[in-house]
Amino acid sequence: MTKLAYVFIMAAVLFISSGITNAHAVDCDNPCGALELIECAAQKEGMTAEDYYNKDLFDSRSILDGFSKEENFKKFCTEPTVQQQYYYDNFCKKNTGKYYSYENFKEALESGHFAEFCCAEKTTKEQRYKELANFLATIASETTGVLNDYKNDGLFYRYENGSLLGDSMQEGNKYLPPDDWKVARDSLNPELINTEVFWGSDTGGEKANVLTPATSPMGYAWGLIEVPAGFEKIKMNEMIEKGLWCGMGPTQLTGYTMVGFFGWYYNNVEHEKAANFKDFVNNYLVDGKVGFMGALWYWMYQVSGRGYRTPHQAVTNVEKLVCQDIACATMMVNGGCNDYPINREKYYFYFISTLLHDYKIVEVKQEFSGQILENMKCPWIKEPTEEEKAQIQAYIEAFLGYCRPK
């Protein structure tokens, strides 16, 4: 090879590598998606995105997925119930400390199913960071270990350990679906559940709320109960042991929301019309990528009623600014203001100020249905009087009435 040919080849290699680098470079003036937002925030700190996730956003050294460590299980469960021991032995001991890893978060986002997350049409860079902060505050508050004053201490628990109070896996808990929620079970193979449809508010008539989870967002409409051929309708609470109806993963999915994600996942990822729900649940608490996909599905595609927006659609509504902060996200996810000033608001302040150092939350007010709605107001009182309950409920109903409908 001549010297000139060598130089030419090296120049070509450098040109191609430069093109690849530039093709994947992040435009931090207009980042699109959670990974680009985190990358840009990390660059300002002189860190890699993974280090930023593990050190600033969360604390992987002592807290992230920390309940999976044996010393923490013994500390928080000095006398574990049968259900608590079952969950720890079957889930926490697998992929210990890795369930909430940046790698799993990244792989869930790179699955190709959540392109509009933190990149909704017409949203600004600031609004995209606000959606990311809303999402992180939500998953942190659902899984917190309360170890660092509601800052980087979220994603500690994989499941709601406090609800696992049964002395056997056959005992129920507060998340057991009521009898009017139904699914379709394979008539010949009872372990297989139909992934395309399930029903709510079914009282034995011809009609019910028909949920079709394969779509994104999920279909939710009042209609005829049409059981697919080869399947039989059963109560949702008969599918698995009662002890397995527990809040799980980053958004603590349970009840019909877990069944909704089950349906969406098998239609859009695995492409199967029937699957084993128990196997799915068992895997959900071990595979962090699937866990994060469940959280993203809930945020992006889960709807709680006919004609309603998803949490993503509500907090990114550019025409309704009062809906873009954590008060709306809290009500959309919880239906109320559970522990709002104790943890959700604190987490939101932490994440938005960590991602955008100089960001100042602007007060937004909106009059609607006799209430003055505020973007950072989500009323919660630990032991309210009957009058306070009525006032709180009126505010929440007005807020959701403004932000949730399409």
Written as tens digits, the pLDDT of the chain (406 aa) is: 554 444 444 444 443 443 333 345 899 999 999 999 999 999 999 999 999 999 999 999 999 999 999 999 999 999 999 999 999 999 999 999 999 999 999 999 999 999 999 999 999 999 999 999 999 999 999 999 999 999 999 999 999 999 999 999 999 888 999 999 999 999 999 999 999 999 999 999 999 999 999 999 999 999 999 999 999 999 999 999 999 999 999 999 999 999 999 999 999 999 999 999 999 999 999 999 999 999 999 999 999 999 999 999 999 999 999 999 999 999 999 999 988 999 999 999 999 999 998 889 999 999 999 999 999 999 999 899 999 999 999 999 999 999 999 9
* Predicted local distance difference test score (pLDDT) of residue 2: 53
Contact 264, 296 (CB under 8 A): no
* Predicted local distance difference test score (pLDDT) of residue 172: 87
Q: DSSP alpha helices (H): ranges in 25-55?
A: 34-44, 49-52
Tell me which residue of 224, 226, 221 sits closest to 211, measured CA to CA. 221
267 vs 193, 195, 256, 263, CA distance in Å? 12, 7, 16, 6
* Predicted local distance difference test score (pLDDT) of residue 7: 41
Residue 383 amino acid letter: E
**Given CA atoms 32, 35, 36, 41 in this order, what sign does their dihedral have?**
positive
pTM exceeds 0.75, yes or no: yes
Contact 260, 218 (CB under 8 A): yes
Looking at domain 28-158+285-406, its CATH architecture is Orthogonal Bundle (1.10)
Contact 347, 335 (CB under 8 A): no
* Predicted local distance difference test score (pLDDT) of residue 5: 47
Tell me which residue of 385, 384, 397 sits closest to 331, measured CA to CA. 397
| Euclidean distance between CA atoms 210 and 190, whole angstroms | 21
**Given CA atoms 329, 332, 333, 336 in this order, what sign does their dihedral have?**
positive
Write the CB contacts of 199 (distance below 8 Å, at least 6 apart in sequence). 181, 182, 183, 208, 209, 210, 211, 225, 233
Tell me which residue of 367, 365, 347, 343 sits closest to 355, measured CA to CA. 347
Contact 103, 299 (CB under 8 A): no
Strand ranges in 84-214 using DSSP code E only, listed in sequence order: 182-186, 192-200, 207-212
Q: DSSP alpha helices (H): ranges in 202-254?
A: none
Report phi then psi at 154, rounded to 5.
-75, 175
Task: Write the DSSP symbol of residue 238.
Answer: G
Give helix 288-301 / helix 277-284 axis angle, nearest 10°.
100
Residue 235, CA atoms < 13 Å, CB-side half-sphere: 11
> How far is it between the farthest Cα atoms of the chain?
90
User: Any idea where the domains of the chain sit in the sequence?
Assistant: 28-158+285-406, 182-282
| Euclidean distance between CA atoms 335 and 397, whole angstroms | 9
Work out whether strand 365-368 and strand 182-186 pair parallel, antiparallel, or are unpaired: unpaired
| Euclidean distance between CA atoms 225 and 223, whole angstroms | 7
91, two tokens: 């889930």
* Predicted local distance difference test score (pLDDT) of residue 12: 44
